[in-house]
Structure 1
Amino acid sequence: MSDDLKVPGFQVSKLIVDISEAFAAMPDAEKAAQIKKTNGIFQLDVSNDKKETATWTIDLKKTGTIYKGPAKPKADVTIILSDETLNDLATGKLNGQKAFMTGKLKTKGNMMLATKLDGVLKAASNKPKAKL
């Protein structure tokens, strides 16, 4: 399943896979709590340096999963940003509010829900990584 999420030419493909694996590894109670706290579907429209766009959907309304492609059903918020900006948000180099205010991040739909993306990225990135 993880390889289904990768899109060549996008550095955040690995991040998306990591978030998906973190959700999959979450105990059901923790995943249910995250869904209840977030209660939304995020569609990420990410562009790279070659002006290509990849779309991923984070469903934290019903399933607690991530998939490639547009949201089904309709996203509560669509977040439009660059590959680099999403990477900076996930690593903590940039916060969502600053990205929005400087025009690095645009939203369509429920802008207040977009503010929860930082929390979703942090919740997933704080999971311990498996050692090989």
Structure 2
Amino acid sequence: MKQLFNTQFASTSHVWLLILRVSAASFMLTHGYPKLMTLIEGGEIAFYDFLGLGMTASLALAVLAEFVCSILLILGLGTRLAALPLIITMLVAAFAVHADDPFGKKEFALLYLLIFATILVFGAGKYSVDRFLEKK
């Protein structure tokens, strides 16, 4: 009975990691895609310069995290590594960009931060490209 429970729990947790990973990354794409379009279209860029590298470089780093790393998370490819830029971006969003804002403005960034930190800790799960590549 205990073995059956453990097997069922493990299977459920892998499915949940898939759902969490794909949904959070898909939601983050809705933030990254408009930034990507702004970067591609050029013109005047007004973006938070969090590292002092300039607005364009800062925007490019945000696009890397919110768009490229989100796609990697959806696939489950380089999952833990892809989660790191997203975690850093959410820390910047919560504690730098929205530093003076009320908690309600920080809340979404903190929720994303918690989700991406969970993915960093637990990995992609069984249903991922990472797991497929491990088997080869």
Shorter-chain TM-score tier: 0.3 to 0.5
- In terms of fraction of residues, the more strand-rich structure is 1
TM-score w.r.t. the length of structure 1 is: 0.32
- In terms of fraction of residues, the more helix-rich structure is 2
Larger Rg: 2
Q: RCO greater where, 1 or 2, for CA within 8 Å and sep 6 or more?
A: 2
